[in-house]
């Protein structure tokens, strides 16, 4: 499903203009109890099919930005739009539906059910989507094959390597065919070889059309993606094309 077009002048960054926006933030701020200002004046637009790194040190505000984009939290000021929807105008039930239909999450810790095999862990991502059990498993199988784990369907997390666990987690995030994949430190729990495999998969998924934001503190990862958004002290301090070449679309 294509994201709705959102009209309006884009701010002066390296982001493209004129296309369909999957994410659009306008003058967004977030203040927590006690007056802690985590974000202020953030403008950002991510269009359909982009692969973006959001990079910054611990405490920079990138995790808060992830929570706002992922509709896990709400902005104090400004407007957040995801997949064409004004997040601040939605009820809790509609926010849950937006997440289920349009957003896939991948975290540093894999959050796999230890007693269930790879197939069931991925199929469980469709539990609340009104999909039959047979269809859930069929789609889970196809998605695991897509991430190169068709031979590991019956293996439980304890029988998988770290890189394989992360690929199962990515498959679970993708099985609902979201418009947007949010990957929060997806290589943080992996060794360098497994991390490279996961990032290669991220590029392949993007080449197939998935819009992806990778949240990371790792400058090497950020510099290897086509667009790099730097966050520091609650503000976007740069938004630039890196010169990295994205994967070629099939």
What pLDDT, in 10s, does the model give residues 50-97?
Answer: 999 999 999 999 999 999 999 999 999 999 999 999 999 999 999 999
Q: Which positions of the chain have pLDDT values less than 70?
A: 1-19, 245-250
- Work out the percent of the chain whose per-residue pLDDT is above 70: 90
Report pLDDT for 247.
Answer: 54
**Is residue 136 situated within a structural domain?**
yes
Q: Provide the number of structural domains found in the chain.
A: 1
CATH number of the domain encompassing residue 92: 3.40.50.300
Alpha carbon of 232 to those of 190, 193, 237: distances in Å?
25, 29, 6
Report pLDDT for 130.
Answer: 77
**Is residue 35 situated within a structural domain?**
yes
Report pLDDT for 231.
Answer: 97
**Is residue 248 situated within a structural domain?**
no
| Domain boundaries, position 99 | 21-241
**Is residue 10 situated within a structural domain?**
no
CA–CA gap between residue 212 and residue 181 (Å, rounded) = 5
**Is residue 44 situated within a structural domain?**
yes
Report pLDDT for 243.
Answer: 79
**Is residue 174 situated within a structural domain?**
yes
**Is residue 4 situated within a structural domain?**
no
Residue 185's region, left for phi above 0, alpha for psi from -120 to 50, else beta, is: left
Pairing of strands 211-216, 77-82: unpaired
Report pLDDT for 244.
Answer: 74
SS3 assignment, position 63: helix
CA–CA gap between residue 242 and residue 231 (Å, rounded) = 16
**Is residue 247 situated within a structural domain?**
no
């Amino acid at each position: 499903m294509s994201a709705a077009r959102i009209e309006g002048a884009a701010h002066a960054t390296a982001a493209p203009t004129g296309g369909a926006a999957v994410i659009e933030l306008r003058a967004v701020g977030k203040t927590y109890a006690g007056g802690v200002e985590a974000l202020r004046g953030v403008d950002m637009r991510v269009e359909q099919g982009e692969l973006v790194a959001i990079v910054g040190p611990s405490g920079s505000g990138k995790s808060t930005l992830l929570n706002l984009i992922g509709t896990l939290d709400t902005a104090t000021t400004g407007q957040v739009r995801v997949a064409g929807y004004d997040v601040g105008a939605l009820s809790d039930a509609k926010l849950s539906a937006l997440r289920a239909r349009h957003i896939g999450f991948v975290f540093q810790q894999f959050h796999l059910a230890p007693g269930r095999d790879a197939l069931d862990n991925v199929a469980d991502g469709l539990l609340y989507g009104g999909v039959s059990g047979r269809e859930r498993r069929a789609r889970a199988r196809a998605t695991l094959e897509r991430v190169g784990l068709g031979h590991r369907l019956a293996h439980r997390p304890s029988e998988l390597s770290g890189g394989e666990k992360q690929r199962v987690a990515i498959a679970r995030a993708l099985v609902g065919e979201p418009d947007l994949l949010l990957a929060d430190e997806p290589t943080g729990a992996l060794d360098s070889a497994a991390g490279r495999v996961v990032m290669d998969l991220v590029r392949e998924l993007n080449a197939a059309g998935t819009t992806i934001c990778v949240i990371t503190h790792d400058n090497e990862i950020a510099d290897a993606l086509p667009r790099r958004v730097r966050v520091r002290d609650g503000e976007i301090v740069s938004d630039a094309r890196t010169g990295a070449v994205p994967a070629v679309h099939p």
